[in-house]
């Protein structure tokens, strides 16, 4: 964790420099300097016969207005890029690939990210960036880790647009590495740069909304989500628009506020009944089930939960796996619950969901079958740690209260108090 914190502080300094405007005047200079270093040339070697080495150093540092460098057909700039084997379109359009990448994310066309678009550029950091983005989208954590090590060394060469997207993807990377708190810090860095450029990023805002809801910052979550919804609607980004609408419905229900949810679900249903190109129907059924569950109509809720788990297309909602178990426990329908948990045990589920299913298996066991010590060990060593790593406040609270109750039943009051203090400490860390 300490190493990650140092990386964050370094990134925050770099972001601060970008925001203070130092990088905007150095974009072309950065590009020239990176090409010179890549070719292993000194200032003297590149400047020889073109300009003084000190003048080239000023160009690289962004201290010379680019208009004065591009003064004629045989300008200093033209001679420099010829010597460095790069072209004017590469230099002047060096961030267009970032706009292309953002557009592909909005359209959910990630193939363009994985096709090594950055290989068209001379800069090593751009090739590494593109590879890193592709590895993160494919959840290839080891490949992403190796590329990130290279990028840590090249971070000073990132242009403002590149840095904004890089911090976004570093956030996604840390989420995949189960470091949700660090992920959110990088999202905030990305947001700072997006705000500075006055280029709001709906993909980033949606990620920040989901994280805010997870750690209990409901007001912030809806603020980010409303902005993302507005932007996705303007961009006609149907996949992300539906996803944000489903998040909105789910979080409204989670806050015990069903106003507007029924109408929104009708609108989403009319879209997905017509076509479901992004496989969102199972999640829609999950939210519909939650809507009826909150209304106390448990039979309808069960029907929609089961539909969301038996989609003929071969995909289902992981949320339904957990929420149906939770509902069966609440209604004390233990036979149905055990059958459901047995089915879930044969599914390919995320670690977080597997831990929740294991928790409900303990809760559904008969006293003679259950070992309190095993349950305590599971909560201590697996469940709570997983909830902390994902910043999952809801289940951190569920697991924590269960552990405190287990300790109290065995008269281990000091352990119960330590657990309570530990939970309060985590909640305080997440809230900041």
> What span, in angstroms and rounded, lies between the C-alpha atoms of 92 and 259?
50
Please indicate whether residue 81 or residue 414 has the higher confidence score (pLDDT): 414
* DSSP 8-state class, residue 382: I
Distances (CA, A) of 374 to 97, 370, 403: 53, 8, 11
Give the C-alpha separation, 50 to 65, whole Å: 17
For residue 19, what pLDDT is reported? 46
pLDDT tens digits, residue range 319-353?
999 999 999 999 999 999 999 999 998 888 889 99
Distance CA 416, CA 380 (A): 12
User: Tens of pLDDT along 23-63?
Assistant: 444 567 777 887 888 788 999 999 999 899 999 898 887 77
For the chain, the average pLDDT equals 84
202-254 pLDDT, tens per residue?
999 999 999 999 888 899 999 999 999 999 999 888 899 999 999 999 999 99
Reply yes or no on whether the pLDDT at 87 is more than 70.
no
Dihedral angle, C-alpha 41, 47, 50, 56, nearest 10 °: 120
Residue ranges with strand state E in 114-257: none
Under 8 Å between Cβ of 288 and 267: no
Angstrom distance (rounded) from CA 379 to CA 399 = 6
Global confidence as pTM: 0.78
Cα–Cα distance between 407 and 155 in angstroms, integer? 49
Which helix (H) or strand (E) covers residue 208, if one does?
A: helix 202-214
Instruction: Please give the average per-residue pLDDT across 114-125, as a whole number.
Output: 57
Higher pLDDT, 316 or 10: 316
Specify the higher pLDDT residue, 267 or 109.
267
Q: 73 versus 111: which is more confidently predicted?
A: 111
Q: How confident is the model at residue 13 (pLDDT cuts 50, 70, 90)?
A: low
Res 45: pLDDT? 93
Establish how many alpha carbons lie within 13 A of residue 214's alpha carbon, considering only the half-sphere containing its beta carbon: 18
Residue 255, pLDDT > 80, answer yes
Closest C-alpha among 197, 126, 185 to residue 161: 197
Sign of CA dihedral 212, 214, 215, 216: positive
Where is mean pLDDT largest: 116-130, 184-198, 218-232, 418-432? 218-232
Rounded average pLDDT over 264-287 = 89
CA nearest to 94, candidates 81, 111, 79: 81
Question: Mean of the pLDDT values across residues 103-107?
Answer: 79
Instruction: Supply the pLDDT for residue 324.
Output: 96
Q: How much is the pLDDT for 312?
A: 46
CB burial readout 253-277, b (16+ within 10 A) else e? beeeeeeebeebbeebeebbeeeee
Q: In whole angstroms, what is the distance from residue 15 CA to residue 185 CA?
A: 12
* pLDDT score at 90: 54
How far is residue 3's CA from residue 37's CA, in Å, rounded to a whole number?
27
Is pLDDT above 60 for 412?
Answer: yes
Which tokens hold the place of 166?
């890089």
What is the pLDDT averaged over residues 270-290?
Answer: 89
Instruction: Tell me: pLDDT of 142 over 70.
Output: yes
Q: Name all contacts of 229-233 with Cβ < 8 Å and 24+ positions apart.
A: 231/200, 231/202, 231/205, 232/106, 232/202, 232/206
Report which of residues 10 and 278 the model is more confident about.
278
């Amino acid at each position: 964790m300490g190493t990650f914190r140092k990386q964050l502080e370094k990134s925050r300094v770099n972001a601060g420099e970008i925001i203070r405007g130092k990088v905007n005047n150095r974009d072309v200079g950065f590009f020239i300097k990176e090409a010179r270093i890549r070719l292993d040339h000194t200032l003297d070697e590149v400047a020889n016969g073109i300009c003084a080495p000190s003048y080239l150093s000023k160009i690289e540092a962004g201290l010379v207005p680019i208009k004065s460098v591009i003064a004629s057909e045989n300008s200093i700039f033209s001679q420099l890029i010829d010597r460095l084997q790069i072209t004017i379109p590469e230099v002047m359009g060096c961030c267009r690939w970032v706009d292309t990448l953002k557009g592909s994310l909005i359209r959910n066309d990630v193939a363009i990210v994985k096709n090594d678009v950055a290989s068209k550029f001379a800069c090593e950091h751009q090739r590494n960036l593109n590879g890193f983005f592709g590895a993160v989208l494919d959840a290839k954590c080891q490949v992403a880790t190796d590329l990130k090590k290279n990028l840590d060394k090249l971070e000073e060469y990132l242009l403002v647009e590149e840095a904004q997207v890089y911090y976004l993807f570093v956030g996604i990377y840390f989420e995949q590495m189960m470091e949700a708190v660090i992920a959110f810090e990088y999202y905030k860095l990305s947001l700072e740069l997006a705000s500075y450029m006055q280029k709001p990023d709906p993909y980033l805002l949606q990620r920040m909304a989901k994280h805010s809801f997870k750690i209990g910052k409901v007001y912030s979550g809806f603020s980010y989500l409303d902005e993302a919804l507005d932007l996705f609607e303007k961009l006609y980004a149907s996949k992300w628009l539906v996803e944000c609408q489903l998040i909105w419905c789910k979080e409204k229900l989670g806050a015990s506020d069903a106003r507007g949810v029924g109408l929104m679900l009708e609108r989403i249903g009319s879209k997905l009944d017509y076509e479901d190109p992004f496989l969102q129907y199972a999640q829609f059924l999950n939210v519909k089930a939650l809507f009826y569950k909150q209304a106390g109509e448990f039979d309808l809720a069960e029907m929609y939960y089961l539909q969301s788990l038996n989609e003929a297309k071969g995909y289902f909602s992981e949320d339904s796996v957990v929420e149906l178990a939770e509902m069966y426990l609440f209604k004390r329908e233990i036979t149905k619950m055990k059958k459901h948990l047995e089915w879930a045990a044969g599914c390919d589920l995320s670690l977080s969901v597997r831990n929740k299913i294991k928790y409900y298996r303990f809760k559904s066991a008969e006293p003679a079958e259950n070992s309190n010590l095993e349950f305590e060990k599971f909560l201590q060593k697996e469940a709570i740690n997983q909830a902390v790593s994902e910043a999952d406040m809801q289940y951190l609270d569920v697991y924590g209260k269960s552990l405190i109750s287990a300790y109290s039943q065995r008269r281990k009051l000091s352990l119960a108090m330590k657990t309570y203090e530990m939970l309060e400490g985590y909640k305080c860390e997440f809230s900041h």
